[in-house]
Amino acid sequence: MSEATAPPLRADADGSVPAAVHAPTDHLDLPFFQPQHLEMAGELATWTPLQQVDESDDRAACRAWVRRLGDAGWLRYCVPAAFGGALPQLDSRALVIAREQLAFHSPLADFAFAMQGLGSGAITLAGTPRQCADYLPAVARGEKIAAFALSEADAGSDVSAMTTIASTVDLTMDKGQKGSKFVLKGSKTWISNGGLADFYCVFAKTEPGAGSRGISAFIVDRDTSGLDDSAHIAVMSPHPLASLVFDGCELPSGALLGPPGGGFKLAMQTLDIFRASVAGAALGMARRALFEARLHARQRKMFGQTLADFQLTQARIGEMAALIDAAALLTYRAAWLRDRSMAGEPGAGGKTADAASARQRSVAAAMAKMTATENAQRVIDMALQMHGGLGVKVGTKVESLYRGIRSLRIYEGATEVQQLIIGKAVLQE
């Protein structure tokens, strides 16, 4: 993999590197990508280092990033062209590139971008024309912040265990016409952008006895009566999280997102699109750790030479580079496979072929997510160790990366879940 394209920078006195560092892009010159992907990467690599945002308050910073990403047009990659997006449909390779570039600079910038896509993804996939028009253009402009509300205290990986209920209430409307509404009761937790979002895509049971087939999806605006999203959750790295309580929230029939009982499938489809992009974020953080490690090793004087002159250091740097490359190839393959399928796979036909293709995409995304996040954790740990005492000093880049990478091994499907997906598929071959 190539080094960062910007000229080498000198470290600050405390060992940290100035923020204006360009992420590498040369490694993207692969058959997986098209010219427009490479052009996008180059433009984003130039734009991102110029955005200096105070991240001491993660919620204020997230709002600032959403505004900047929206004003610059980057959030247009989170929605389809019909509703203000940059491309005809969501493009996994573009999402991976964006998250890799942003995470190299700021994991919180990556988070702000990703949640606009994930939070509105269910609307993109299943929304009515009216729902799409009401929400997606505002998401693309950064005017509305989106959130995806699936997890509960006892229903994370086991989605069917959720207890939030959406009951149907029949109504008599004007002129004797019949209608209905939904009443939402329950709670969600670990919700990214919780307390910050302008709307939530919420998953709840409409048929409690039907397991995962009884789950439906709804759009819930933040100002809905009975919604309390004030319970913020503090975590080890800046990340706006909150628990949500729905105390008899009344939703019109038009809030239903997709068909009744189609919520579980919709949630999985949404997560499937963005799973490979999580790997992209991990790659960005790992590449930044390698950049920091190289710079520190070249400048740190020890025993009459630099840290980089020691063979042990060279071996570690080599291992870090190989771990990143291995994860990158799996990540780019996963994104390419999904994009190819959306464009129509050559030779695919019939339900058997479609099922096999879907399984291939799911396994590829699981491999990418698992490998990239686990490898990034190893790379960042090695970079921190190489920095010695500076590595654990609050405020240095490798220290923040060490905290930031940890959650990626858990959210949107923990590593263990990805292992199960892969293992079951291999056994079925």
Q: How many CB atoms lie within 10 A of CB 55?
A: 17
Confidence (pLDDT) at 2: 36
Which residues, in sequence order, are bridge partners of residue 150?
A: none
Who has greater pLDDT, 238 or 111? 111
Q: Residue 177 above 70 pLDDT?
A: no
Nearby residues of 393 by Cβ (< 8 Å), 6 or more positions away: 14, 15, 399
* Phi and psi, residue 329, nearest 5°: -65, -40
Q: For the packed helices 350-387 and 263-299, what is the interaxial angle rounded to 10 degrees?
A: 30
Catalytic residue among 100, 292, 399, 412: 412
Cα-based angle 250, 256, 259 (whole degrees, multiple of 5)? 145
Q: What is the DSSP letter of 132?
A: H
Asked if the domains at 26-145 and 265-428 fall in one CATH topology, the answer is no
Q: For the packed helices 397-406 and 350-387, what is the interaxial angle rounded to 10 degrees?
A: 150
**Active site annotation includes 152:** no
How many alpha carbons lie under 13 Å from residue 38 in its C-beta half-sphere? Answer: 10
- With cut-offs at 50, 70 and 90, classify the pLDDT of residue 298: very high
Is the torsion defined by CA of 422, 425, 427, 429 positive or negative? negative
Q: What is the mean pLDDT of residues 134-154?
A: 97
CA–CA dist 208, 211 (Å, integer) = 7
Per the CB < 8 A criterion, the answer to whether 405 and 397 are in contact is no
> Which of 317, 288, 272, 244 has its CA nearest to residue 110?
288
Nearby residues of 63 by Cβ (< 8 Å), 6 or more positions away: 145, 196
Confidence (pLDDT) at 273: 87
Confidence (pLDDT) at 13: 40
Q: Which stretch of DSSP H or E encloses residue 229?
A: strand 227-233
> Which of 173, 177, 224 has its CA nearest to residue 200?
224
Which ranges constitute the DSSP H helices of 344-412? 350-387, 397-406
Q: Residue 173 above 80 pLDDT?
A: no
CA–CA dist 110, 105 (Å, integer) = 9
Per the CB < 8 A criterion, the answer to whether 78 and 249 are in contact is no
Q: Which two three-digit tokens encode residue 167? A: 């009951």
Domain spans in the chain, listed from the N-terminal domain onward: 26-145, 148-261, 265-428
pTM, 2 dp: 0.90
Per the CB < 8 A criterion, the answer to whether 26 and 310 are in contact is no
What is the three-class DSSP state of 237?
coil
Q: Which two three-digit tokens encode residue 352? A: 């058997």
Q: What percentage of the chain carries pLDDT values higher than 90?
A: 79
CA–CA dist 369, 330 (Å, integer) = 9
> May I ask the CATH class of domain 26-145?
mainly alpha
- With cut-offs at 50, 70 and 90, classify the pLDDT of residue 220: very high
Q: Which stretch of DSSP H or E encloses residue 322?
A: helix 311-343
Q: Residue 306 above 90 pLDDT?
A: yes
Q: Residue 44 above 90 pLDDT?
A: yes
Q: How far is CA 419 from CA 239, 303, 408, in A?
A: 26, 45, 15
Confidence (pLDDT) at 175: 58
> Which of 134, 309, 170, 339 has its CA nearest to residue 253?
170
The CATH fold of domain 265-428: Butyryl-CoA Dehydrogenase, subunit A; domain 3 (1.20.140)
> Which of 67, 60, 53, 49 has its CA nearest to residue 105?
49
CA–CA dist 233, 50 (Å, integer) = 30
Amino acid found at 110:
D
Q: Which two three-digit tokens encode residue 316? A: 């570690």
Q: Residue 69 above 90 pLDDT?
A: yes
CATH of 148-261, one of 3.40.50.720, 2.40.110.10, 3.20.20.210, 3.40.50.970: 2.40.110.10
Q: Which two three-digit tokens encode residue 250? A: 């009344």
Confidence (pLDDT) at 178: 64
Q: Which two three-digit tokens encode residue 264? A: 């579980």
Alpha carbon 120 to its chain centroid, in Å, reads 12
- With cut-offs at 50, 70 and 90, classify the pLDDT of residue 350: very low
